[in-house]
């Protein structure tokens, strides 16, 4: 299957060729013909599968094929919604907005627009990106220029609608990108308000990595006779990522990371930590150690985040330290390493994190620095992956015996007390109530209270949660696969099995 077989125009074919794509990814091969045919599409695909091009390419083609001229302006395809906002007179100027892409985060929105520009190189289509956390001026200027494609996060878009700065009554194509993330982040009400502002007759595309009940409900109300596209589970996509665990005492993680960078084991990496403060502290510490590093997290201004990301993409800094939310959906070409400085408290987030590397068939490397206190989280991750991740002890970083024993004791007594397993929503006995340990940055910064993970019976990751932990991860005795012969290594391996 080639891009030409999909029915794309020569200029778009040249644009994908210029990007070095030789053949469409599965989501592109399946979705593009349906989008070009004007159908609604429900696609189960996540970041890293080429999903952005799967909607941006055909949308560019549709918009170019049917552009309004001053003589024959395209009228709104249907009546605007009759909500409070839809009824107001609008003062927006310029050409009508014809395609609207809603995305969960500003970083993702910016990336989508970057693809609009990249693929539309030969026949540019005017676009604007709208997201919160920055001043209005630049966005208002972009809107005033009359963008045909608007890529937006829901909150700021509604804000601008309320200010009557943008008119959505001519939208012909709506895309919900990473719908599950948007719902996780509490955007459902905003999304529904936006839907009420759009013409009733339009083409709708919904992309989501997972299909819990809330996503299905939204899809049912939004899509008409959709073509369904389901891409291979993420678990198979991440097979191109080499995963390794470096056991380390908690208080020596920074030192180990510095060592791995200075010894050349890690050259360029996205490093995940759990908290905003942790991200900043780690970036500062690396910087003091002479390593070019920056942090992106919710406390940094949008300008700082964009600059850090640009510096990292352009190779001016080697290490980008990020929290889960800040890094969500980031697309960084050819990222060789992802480092979990701390394991995520929700097992699925591990898969999202390591999905930043090994994209589109490239090999990637995911390194996790795991201390004994994190063994339970590790077990949850391995249960989700249904495989054991190889561990390697780094010489000079053997675990401290006393500290290890103490931590292991804590882990065991904690889990013995009936602690819920993070990310799986099951307690140690597999029957307890769902509870999420810890609270990721996103839960706070988006005003969403801590919530239990959704049922994953129908998720794109498969039915992992139906599997019991004991069955999913076989306990191993003795040292790790790489000769953890010293007592500290044995202790780690034993505690892995025990936790």
Residues in touch with ligand AMP (CB under 6 A): 21, 24-25, 28, 47-53, 331, 333, 359-360
Distance CA 144, CA 71 (A): 21
- Comparing CB distances to ligand AMP, the nearer of 49 and 345 is 49
Q: Can you tell me which residue has the tokens 């019991």?
A: 468
Phi and psi, residue 205, nearest 5°: -125, 130
- Comparing CB distances to ligand AMP, the nearer of 52 and 208 is 52
- Decide if 16 contacts 34 (C-beta within 8 A): no
Minimum gap (Å) between residue 158 Cβ and ligand AMP: 25
Minimum gap (Å) between residue 353 Cβ and ligand AMP: 14
- Comparing CB distances to ligand AMP, the nearer of 49 and 210 is 49
- Comparing CB distances to ligand AMP, the nearer of 334 and 475 is 334
Minimum gap (Å) between residue 239 Cβ and ligand AMP: 16
* Kind of pairing between the strands at 426-427 and 420-421: antiparallel
Minimum gap (Å) between residue 152 Cβ and ligand AMP: 17
- Comparing CB distances to ligand AMP, the nearer of 50 and 247 is 50
3-class DSSP string for the chain: CCHHHHCCCHHHHHHHHHCCCCCCCHHHHHHHHHHHCCCCEEEECCCCCCHHHHHHHHHHHHHHHCCCCCCCCCCCCCCCCCCHHHHCCCCCCCCCCCEEEECCCHHHHHHHHHHHHHHCCCCCCCEEEECCCCCCHHHHHHHHCCCCEEEECHHHHHHHHHCCCCCCCCCCEEEECCHHHHHHCCCHHHHHHHHHHCCCCCEEEEEECCCCHHHHHHHHHHCCCCEEEECCCHHHHHHHEEEEEEECCHHHHHHHHHHHHHCCCCCCEEEEECCHHHHHHHHHHHHHCCCCEEEECCCCCHHHHHHHHHHHHCCCCCEEEEEHHHHCCCCCCCCCEEEECCCCCCHHHHHHHHCCCCHHHCCEEEEEEECHHHHHHHHHHHHHHCCCCEECCCCCCCCCHHHHHHHHHHHHHHHHCCCEECCCCEECCCCCCCCCCCCCHHHHHCCCCCCCCCCCCCCCCCCHHHCCHHHHCCCCCCCCCCCCCCHHHHHHHHHHHHC
- Comparing CB distances to ligand AMP, the nearer of 25 and 424 is 25
Minimum gap (Å) between residue 59 Cβ and ligand AMP: 13
Minimum gap (Å) between residue 349 Cβ and ligand AMP: 17
Task: Name, in order, each residue with C-beta under 8 angstroms of 409's C-beta and a sequence gap of 6 or more.
Answer: none
Sheet holding 241-247, edge to edge: 293-296, 319-323, 269-273, 337-340, 364-370, 241-247, 390-391
Minimum gap (Å) between residue 367 Cβ and ligand AMP: 21
- Comparing CB distances to ligand AMP, the nearer of 51 and 276 is 51
- Comparing CB distances to ligand AMP, the nearer of 328 and 465 is 328
* Kind of pairing between the strands at 227-230 and 149-152: unpaired
- Comparing CB distances to ligand AMP, the nearer of 51 and 233 is 51
Minimum gap (Å) between residue 441 Cβ and ligand AMP: 21
Minimum gap (Å) between residue 49 Cβ and ligand AMP: 5
- Comparing CB distances to ligand AMP, the nearer of 41 and 143 is 41
Minimum gap (Å) between residue 334 Cβ and ligand AMP: 9
Minimum gap (Å) between residue 172 Cβ and ligand AMP: 22
- Comparing CB distances to ligand AMP, the nearer of 49 and 459 is 49
Minimum gap (Å) between residue 487 Cβ and ligand AMP: 44
- Comparing CB distances to ligand AMP, the nearer of 48 and 440 is 48
């Amino acid at each position: 299957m080639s891009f030409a077989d999909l029915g794309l125009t020569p200029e778009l074919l040249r644009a994908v060729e210029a990007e070095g794509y030789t053949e469409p990814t599965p989501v592109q091969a399946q979705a593009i013909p349906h989008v070009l045919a004007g159908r609604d599409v429900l696609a189960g695909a996540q970041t890293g599968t080429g999903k952005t091009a799967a909607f941006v390419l055909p949308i560019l083609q549709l918009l170019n094929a049917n552009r309004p001229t001053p003589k024959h302006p395209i009228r709104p395809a249907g009546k605007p919604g009759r909500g409070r906002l839809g009824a107001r007179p609008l003062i927006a100027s310029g050409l009508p907005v014809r395609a609207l892409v809603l995305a969960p985060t500003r970083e993702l929105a910016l990336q989508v627009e970057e693809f609009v520009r990249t693929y539309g190189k030969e026949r540019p289509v005017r676009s604007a990106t709208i997201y919160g956390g920055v001043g209005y001026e630049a966005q208002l200027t972009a809107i005033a220029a009359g963008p045909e494609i608007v890529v937006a996060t829901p909150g700021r878009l509604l804000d601008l609608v309320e200010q009557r700065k943008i008119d959505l009554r001519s939208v012909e194509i709506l895309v919900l990108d990473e719908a599950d993330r948007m719902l996780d982040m509490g955007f459902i009400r905003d999304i529904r308000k936006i839907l009420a502002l759009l013409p009733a007759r339009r083409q709708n595309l919904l992309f989501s990595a997972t299909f819990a009940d809330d996503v299905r409900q939204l899809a049912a109300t939004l899509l008409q006779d959709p073509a369904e596209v389901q891409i291979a589970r993420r678990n198979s996509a991440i097979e191109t990522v080499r995963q390794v665990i470096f056991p380390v005492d908690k208080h020596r993680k920074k030192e180990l990371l510095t060592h791995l960078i200075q010894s050349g084991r890690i050259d360029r990496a996205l490093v995940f930590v759990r908290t905003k403060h942790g991200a900043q502290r780690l970036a500062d510490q690396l910087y003091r150690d002479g390593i070019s590093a920056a942090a992106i997290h919710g406390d940094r201004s949008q300008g700082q985040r964009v600059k850090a990301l640009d510096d990292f993409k352009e190779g001016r800094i080697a290490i980008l330290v990020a929290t889960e939310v800040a890094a969500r959906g980031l697309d960084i070409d050819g990222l060789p390493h992802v480092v979990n400085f701390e394991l995520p408290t929700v097992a699925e987030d591990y898969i999202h994190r390591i999905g930043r590397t090994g994209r589109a068939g490239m090999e990637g490397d995911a390194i996790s620095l795991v201390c004994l206190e994190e063994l339970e989280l590790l077990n949850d991750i391995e249960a989700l992956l249904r495989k054991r991740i190889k561990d390697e002890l780094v010489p000079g970083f053997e675990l401290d015996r006393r500290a290890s024993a103490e931590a292991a004791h804590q882990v065991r007594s904690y889990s013995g007390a009936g602690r819920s397993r993070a990310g799986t929503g099951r307690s140690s006995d597999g029957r307890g109530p769902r509870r999420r340990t810890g609270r990721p940055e996103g839960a706070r910064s988006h005003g969403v209270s801590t919530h239990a993970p959704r049922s994953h019976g129908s998720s794109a990751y498969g039915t992992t949660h139906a599997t019991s932990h004991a069955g999913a991860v076989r306990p191993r005795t003795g040292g790790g696969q790489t000769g953890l012969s010293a007592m500290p290594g044995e202790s780690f391996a034993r505690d892995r099995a025990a936790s």
